[in-house]
Structure 1
Amino acid sequence: MSRYSLTTRIATRDDATALADLWSDAVRRADPAEQVADIELIVKGAEASPEQRVVVVEYDGQVAGAVYLRITTLSPLNLEPCVQSIHPRVFDHCRRHGVGHALMEAATAFAEENGILHVVTAVPHSSRESNRFMARLGLAPVVMYRVAPTALLRSRVSPQRPQLGVDGSRSRVLAARRSLRRARAERLSLPEPEQA
């Protein structure tokens, strides 16, 4: 048993710097001060909403991990209510001290408080340890969430057709074809000469 104790509590705006560091790969790419400001807004929004909660777990008096919880539906098409446990994260130096369990306990308690039957979470697919941890807790994989920049996706779903030349030779070829069709149509429409 560890000689340090874990404390679970609701996050405050004073935690924003630690949370921005903890969630550095999840927040938008920006100046660190802007990331801290973003986290402050998220915490403020969660404080004001009964359907959201940012939970912090402290280990030896320091922030060791956190999770963002919100009540929503399983999907936009499946309206069964659930609690999303968004980005449960533990600082590397605090792993294997029960912090992850405390975060998921907070998610479970939030669901029970609100009479919700399902808890869902998302962890990076590349994090083998996190995926194993969630599997041990009974969370099964359901979908693979994929992300791409809009410009990249546009280039893949409707690629531009290559042009036949840099100097506009394609348009000259099309103009020549139109001229030939017009000349052929004129020849066919002329009356045939009478024979004597």
Structure 2
Amino acid sequence: MARSLVSLRCATPADAPTLAELWAEVLRRTDQVERIADLVTVIERAATTDGQRLVVAEYDGEIAGAVHLHVATMTPINLEPIVFAVSPHVFPRFRRHGVGTALIDAAVSYAEERGIGHVATGAAAGSRDANRFMARLSLGPQAVLRVAATPAVRGRLTAQRPAGQRPGNRSGRQLTQVLAARRSLRRSQTPPSVGSH
């Protein structure tokens, strides 16, 4: 029986530059120095916080992939405990060598250690290979996470309002004031109802 060339260990701060390369597309948009500093913080937090673990997969002694494991609840309103396998990534040259399977196995083992009945992960919507891989491991879609820049959403919300209700629309404010004045005038001119004397 051939021995596996994949081994798992907890990340150390020295791994931060390689992890910044691995996770380049999912880290915040900033310069490389700040990305590495962010990852040192994440690695140190995972090492000292109960309910977190950052696992590095090595293939024949070289970093091949990683995943961040995080214990939380299913959602803020569904308190079922769950292990989130956040950003399980494998460098392209190490794909199809069992590295991704080892990372998900680490998540399942972590859930079993803690007596947690569910594991969740995500894959980019456009990554057919990643989504097929997750489906083969029985990880089905639960929700679709949609993300946009705050100004973009504000712009769309504003555009969908009727013209008179849009912020900064002077005529809309004037119309609201005119209608309020008319209601007030009508109330003041209405005779009191019978039996109110």
Q: Where does 1:1-196 land on structure 2 (aligned, <5 Å)?
A: 5-159=5-159
In 2, the alpha carbon distance for the partners of 1:124 and 1:151 equals 23
SS in 2 for 1:123: coil
Q: What per-residue deviation string (whole Å, max 9, x for no partner) do you get for residues 95-138 of structure 1?
A: 00000000001000100110000000011011000000000000
- When Rg is computed on C-alpha atoms for both structures, the one with the higher figure is 1
Matched-pair identity in %: 46
Structure 1 spans left out of the alignment, 5+ residues: 164-169, 178-196
* Deviation (angstroms), 1:68: 0.4
* Deviation (angstroms), 1:4: 6.6
* Deviation (angstroms), 1:75: 0.7
* Deviation (angstroms), 1:40: 0.3
In 2, the alpha carbon distance for the partners of 1:70 and 1:142 equals 18
Q: Counterpart of 1:186?
A: none
Q: Counterpart of 1:190?
A: none
* Deviation (angstroms), 1:61: 1.0
How many residue pairs end up in the alignment? 172
In 2, the alpha carbon distance for the partners of 1:128 and 1:52 equals 28
In 2, the alpha carbon distance for the partners of 1:2 and 1:33 equals 40
* Deviation (angstroms), 1:3: 7.5
Q: Under a length normalisation based on structure 1, what TM-score does the superposition of the two structures give?
A: 0.80
Structure 2 spans left out of the alignment, 5+ residues: 165-170, 179-197
Show structure 1 runs of 4+ deviating over 6 A: 1-4, 160-163
In 2, the alpha carbon distance for the partners of 1:29 and 1:2 equals 42
Q: Under a length normalisation based on structure 2, what TM-score does the superposition of the two structures give?
A: 0.80
In 1, the alpha carbon distance for the partners of 2:4 and 2:136 equals 24
Aligned-residue RMSD, C-alpha? 2.7
